[in-house]
Structure 1
Amino acid sequence: MTHELTRTGPGLSRRGLLQLAGAGAVLLGSAGCGTPERAGAGGAAFVYGRGADAVSLDPMNQTDSESYAVIHQVFDSLLRYAPDGALLPALATAVPAPEDNGRQYTFELREDVRFHDGTPLDAEAVVFNFRRWRESDHPYHRGGGPQSSKFAYYANLFGGFDEESVISRVEAVGPHAVRFTLREPYGPFLPTLAGAQFGIASPTAIRQDVEGFWERPVGTGPFALASWEHGNKITLRRNESWWGTRQAGPGRRVDTVVLTSIPDSTARVAALVGGGLSAVNGIVPQDADALRETAGFTVAQHPQECFSYFAMNTRRAPFQNPLVRKAIAHAIDLPRIVEHFFGARAEVAGAPLYGISTFVDRSIRPHPYDPGLARRLLAEAGMPGGFRTSLWYMSTARPYMPDGKGVAQVVQANLAEVGIAAELVTYELATYVERTGKGMHDIAMFGGTTIGVDSYFPLNYWYAGASATPENSSNLSFFQNPQVDALLAEARVTTDPEEQRALYATVQRIVHDEVPVLPIAYVSPPIALRSGFAGFGTNIAMDDLDALTV
């Protein structure tokens, strides 16, 4: 039996896009944005439409990509990623070499760098940030807002807080020099520090109001926060004294960046065509194709830096049984879903890892669509008549999931064909993240975006037993496998690339065979822009905004 692929709305033709132009200004008015041309004297504004607002702008207390996109503009880390994934210095003057057989690293910091509030960046500021994150009894080991992740990134990446942390000591060894001492060699140490969650914050601002820092962040980045109207828009102003130097093209530079939240994809496209937005993300493939054919617009395509998946909660019946999880994997028609909802530039995922990761194992093939096999597996599991469950989906477009409701409706129909009745459940993004982190779901749609090529972090973040915490869990399947944990622990202290490749491949194979998550797609998300903007890169973190001109 076949089924009809459905969407939350029809794909737009070129004629349809033009018809939306008149509605765009009205929709944009309700979103609270002005036109892209209005900014401060001599400068232009870049108004970016996205599906959801940020959750927290305290770098180590957020876990969502919408927060990450803003944090990337406001903060700098010690290191950063080049577009090809190579490590580059940021607040550090160079990428340091390991000392003491990989147990120490010394970072020389840039001089004459200041935070947005005028506080100088020095070694003590870096030490303050790392102690705040690492020490559970630190007076400022708190904050992050009402939906704080409670420093979950740090605990996940470095094994925990206090004595459990891989980092045993952080000390100033000069006015602009910081030394890290590790309990053991840690292969992913330098790539980890390039993440935006390790953005260095102003100690002055944190001491003044640690509980309010999540909505009034102060960093050293190319843009500073001007205002945040929660649920509506975030406005950033250019940091004139930023330390970085990037070559800007001809024309007026962008002095103001406005990130506005428009949950509906069609409304975002309408606002773009109507002239009120400079760019939008989270658009479905059909609308991206129509914009490519419409004068005055361009569509930038990312590499496969996004990965989407379904997590099956192995703490709940009947998902403790791998036969049930395998049945679901064979019941879902992923090729048709990916073709229809993600476009020709996406790929059905086999390995449970980002498509651009250095050690992704491309030999792992997706679970084939086979409803007959799914029924036989359910019968073998003692459930020939199927069962009832819930399927959670994301209500707003994400770079890795442009139409969560549409995908969920098709999956619901797929599961019904093999006797599984799935109730669809959704929440606004922040609540969705919070509740899935507590394991309140049966099957949940999720995913992620990366700007680097490191493999340890996502594998550990999604599949390690220690990542399955009672709250703020990043392991949304709550998968527990001692062999996976042992392999990741070994990979963590290994610096030989071929040894790492073998260890990570085995982890991916175990996850594929046990199916705690069902990979959906390696996604190359499109971003549509009004023509005229120069210097916009194709990185989801929008790390070239400081070089934009119009």
Structure 2
Amino acid sequence: VMRLDPRSGAVTKTIHLGGSPTALVSAAGRVWVTVAPAPPPPPVTPGTAHFTMQDDFSSLDPALAQVPSTVVMYATCANLVTYPDKPAPAGSQIVPEVAEAVPTPTDGGRMYTFTIRSGFRFSPSSNEAVTAQTFKATIERVANPRLSSPFAYAFSGVAGYHNYVTGKAPGLSGVVARGDTLTITLSQPDGSFLANLAGGAACAVPPSTPAVPGGLNTIPSAGPYYIASYSPRQQLILRRNPNYRGDRPHHLDQMVFTIGTDSARALAEIKAGTADYAVDGLPRDAGPGLESQYGPDSKAARSGHQRYFISPANGVRILHMNASRPLFSNVRLRRAVNYAIDRSALAAQGQRFAEANPFNAGSPADSYMAPATAGAADFHLYPLAGPDLRRARQLAGNVHATAIMYTPDVAPWLQEAQIIGRDLQPLGIDVQLKEFPLDEFFDRISHRGEPFDLAVDGWYSNTTDPAATLEIFDGSTISADDNGDFSYLNDSAFDRQLHAAAALSGARRYSTYRQLDLELERDLAPAAAFATNASRDFFSARMGCQLYQPLYGIDLAALCLRSTGS
């Protein structure tokens, strides 16, 4: 409970309650708070790591888990195929996990056949073996409309899906389990299917797990760790799965998450060594000092004691140019903007506001695909160190125009918009800013016909599949509202190539999307990418084995304690 000064809003006193608040009443000039009983302290072991969370998990049911729950799912789940415990680019490649191999689709790209490895078992209290039937039941649970899983889309293309979700069939006819073989047949080819599986859509759960609204939070798991206990808004404990015989790392005996710790307190506890890592970030202004003292170029790093890590994440920040409006219907002018903007200055602004910003800026970049995207390549089309005004003016020609730029009224958008306005003046473009609250900003730019010419967006992809990035520019998806193509590019030839690429798989898929990315950035230039995303993570002195997995973030299963010699 915090006491605030009514004039300044400053916190004048903090009272730690020792439990999660369940009710609050004001009476006779006092505030009375009731709290839930604090969970019992976990048993102390040499291999225990202590993590903090400011906000609670939305759900710990693998069929419902969203960020930040996904970091827990990566430590606990066993999937048919997965992304390995490696940094990008190796960590972006799909590898087998419970399946013996990553299958090559047959039947014209519609059929995937998996042979299930023996030796995988669920954690206590289940202890049962993971089989082909396990995955059939898991997939049908995710697709069950009673659960309302955000991952149900991954199986909407499976043969028999409509009959199953409408109650006309007891199961998915396209998912067949016989012995140690699981066969999944799609209604039509979909090259992103394996990426959806690797992203956790079919995290194995015991076949008897019910599909109840809201899900379940303590389901036995078959990965390196399992949920030993969970007290909402208070504590989560993961323990090493004693039945796990897989290849993934599992150095720690247990992980204890203390929920409800604000970012300032988390930072103090990590510095003091009473906590090891803040799962959901640190105060906004903490980054520069931590980077100087503990970052990759610090004295601590040179002596082998780096504690602050900056890792390329699976996202980019990008300047959209509205191609449906007269000014930027001119592709030469769109290309001119790509030469005119100062990517280094824009990335630096994002870095200033990194810790509390969901679109953390990392390094200057000119590619729409983040480096973690499978098949991504840096074509070096546009300058990173500063503008190339000579080339920009050659492309722009004689321009005297006003561009309306929409921007949220918060950092770093405002600062980025000011830099972009400065950068486009030499081209003869006067940028006029219109500021909006963040939610209203996105509502407006997603509406077709909204009178804006420029807008900055940042996206973070929940898959390393290249289609997720390039399909943003699919003009055939543009509708009256809820658009994701904020550039409103509508090029039918490019759309046809995108649709053809969607059915491809394997190396051919990645090479095709790489070529499409080149053509989009070079020839159509609907946007100007200016920075990659980055994750910034700080650890206590005793933590080691830090690894940033490009899809899931900090790999909890890979962490170890320096003091144990792990």
Q: How high is the TM-score relative to the length of structure 1?
A: 0.68
Amino acid at match of 1:241: P
Question: Structure 1, residues 313-335: CA drift from partner, whole Å, max 9, x if none?
Answer: 95997898567976876675321
For 1:287, what is the secondary structure of its paired residue? helix
Q: Given that residues 177 and 183 in structure 2 are in contact (C-alpha distance below 8 angstroms), is that contact kept between their aligned partners in structure 1?
A: yes
Q: Does 2:457 correspond to 1:445?
A: yes
**Distance of 1:180 and 1:352 partners within structure 2:** 32
Task: Quote the offset at 1:131 in angstroms.
Answer: 3.6
Match of 1:13 in 2: none
SS at match of 1:361: coil
Question: Which string of whole-angstrom CA distances, capped at 9 and with x for unpartnered residues, describes residues 359-384 of structure 1?
Answer: 2231143476479969x97995xx83
Residue equivalent to 2:197:
193
Q: Does 1:422 align with 2:434?
A: yes
SS at match of 2:419: helix
* d(CA) in 2 for partners of 1:133, 1:259: 29
Unpaired stretches in structure 2, ≥5 consecutive residues: 1-10, 21-40, 166-171, 353-360, 423-429
1:156-184 deviation per Cα after TM superposition (whole angstroms, max 9, x unaligned): x9899649x9xx95333324431012345
- Give the C-alpha shift of residue 487 in structure 1: 2.1
Percent of aligned positions that are identical: 14
- Deviation track 1:422-463 (CA, whole Å, cap 9, x = no partner) reads 315336xxx9999998999974532226785x4334434x34
For residues 259 and 483 of structure 1, what CA distance do their matches in structure 2 show? Answer: 53
What is the match of residue 379 of structure 2? 363
Would you say 1:123 and 2:135 are equivalent positions?
no
Residue 67 of structure 1: how far off its partner (Å): 3.5
Of 212, 224, 229, the match for 1:226: 229
Alpha-carbon distance between aligned partners in 2 of 1:432 and 1:117, rounded to the nearest angstrom: 48
Q: Alpha-carbon deviations, 1:331-362, whole Å to 9, x = none?
A: 7532113245449x943221200114342231
Instruction: Name the CA distance, whole Å, in 2 between partners of 1:519 and 1:48.
Output: 34
Aligned partner of 2:101 in structure 1 is 94
- 1:288 deviation in Å? 1.9
1:79/1:95 contact within 8 Å kept: yes
CA distance in 2, matches of 1:390, 1:494: 37
Given residue 96 of structure 1, which amino acid in structure 2 is its aligned partner?
P
Q: 1:150 to 1:41 in 2, by over 3 A?
A: closer
Q: Secondary structure in 2 aligned to 1:525?
A: strand
* Equivalent AA in structure 2 for residue 309 of structure 1: R
1:304-319 to 2 correspondence within 5 Å? Answer: 304-310=312-318, 312=320
Higher mean displacement: 412-421 or 324-333: 324-333
Matches within 5 A, 1:343-492: 346-366=362-382, 369=387, 384-387=401-404, 389-392=405-408, 405-417=410-422, 418-426=430-438, 443=455, 445-448=457-460, 454-460=465-471, 462-464=472-474, 480-492=490-502
Give 1:187 shift.
4.2
2:78 is equivalent to residue 66 of structure 1: no
SS state of the match for residue 174, structure 2? strand
Change (3 A) 1:244 1:478: farther
* 1:113 correspondence with 2:121: yes
Distance 1:482 1:524 in 2: 34
Q: Which residue is 1:212 aligned to?
A: 214
Is the 1:314–1:479 Cα contact (8 Å) retained in structure 2? yes
Compare relative contact order (CA 8 Å, sep 6+) and give the higher one, 1 or 2: 1
Structure 1 letter corresponding to 2:492: P
Secondary structure of the corresponding residue to residue 213 of structure 1? coil
Query: Secondary structure in 2 aligned to 1:46?
Result: strand
Deviation readout 1:486-518 (Å, 9 max, x if unpaired):
223333333573674244322443256545544
Would the alpha carbon gap of residues 116 and 542 (structure 1) be closer, same or farther in structure 2, given more than 3 Å must change? farther
Paired letter, 2:377: D
Asked whether 1:543 is paired with 2:555, we answer: yes
1:463–1:69 Cα change, 3 Å = farther
CA spacing shift, 1:115–1:96, aligned 2, 3 Å: farther
Distance 1:468 1:54 in 2: 34
Structure 1 residues 386 and 521 mapped into 2: Cα distance closer, same or farther (>3 Å)? closer
| Residues 1:291 and 2:294 are matched in the alignment | yes
**Which residue does the alignment assign to 2:532?**
522
Displacement of 1:60: 5.5
Asked if 1:47 corresponds to 2:50, the answer is yes
Letter in 2 for 1:290: Q
CA distance in 1, matches of 2:491, 2:229: 46
1:102 to 1:202, Cα distance in 2 relative to 1, 3 A:
same
SS at match of 2:414: helix
Q: CA-to-partner distance for each residue in 1:69-126, whole Å, 9 max, x for gaps?
A: 2332343221122222343322324333544464422222345522666284433332
1:272 aligns with 2:270: yes
* Structure 2 Cα separation of the partners of residues 379 and 105 of structure 1: 56
Q: What is the count of residue pairs matched by the alignment?
A: 481
- Secondary structure of the 1:277 match is coil
Residue number in structure 1 paired with 2:345: 336
Q: Give the 3-state SS of the residue equivalent to 2:548 in structure 1.
A: coil
What SS does structure 1 have at the residue aligned with 2:275?
A: coil
Question: What amino acid is the match of 2:255?
Answer: T
* TM-score for the superposition, normalised by structure 2: 0.66
Q: Would the alpha carbon gap of residues 215 and 113 (structure 1) be closer, same or farther in structure 2, given more than 3 Å must change?
A: closer
Amino acid paired to 2:134? A
Tell me the distance in 1 between the aligned counterparts of 2:220 and 2:482.
Answer: 24
Seen in structure 2, the aligned counterparts of structure 1 residues 277 and 31 have a Cα distance that, compared at 3 Å, is: farther
1:76 to 70, 75, 78: 78
Mapped partners of 2:245, 2:448: distance in 1? 42
* Contact kept? 1:109, 1:122, Cα under 8 Å: yes
Query: Counterpart in 2 of 1:255?
Result: 254
Structure (1 or 2) with the greater strand fraction: 2
Tell which deviates more after alignment, 487-496 or 74-83.
487-496
Q: RMSD of the TM alignment (CA)?
A: 5.0
The Cα shift of 1:248 comes to: 5.7
Question: Which amino acid is the alignment partner of residue 143 of structure 1?
Answer: S
- Which whole-Å deviations, capped at 9, do the CAs of 1:233-260 have from their partners, x for residues lacking one? 66232153342445666xxx34124175
Instruction: Give per-residue Cα distances to partners, 1:398-420, cap 9 Å, x unaligned.
Output: xxxxxxx5422311322554432
Deviations 1:248-295 (A, max 9, x none): 66xxx341241757675x665344223343124566355322224476
- The corresponding residue for 1:243 is 244
Partner residue in 1 for 2:168: none
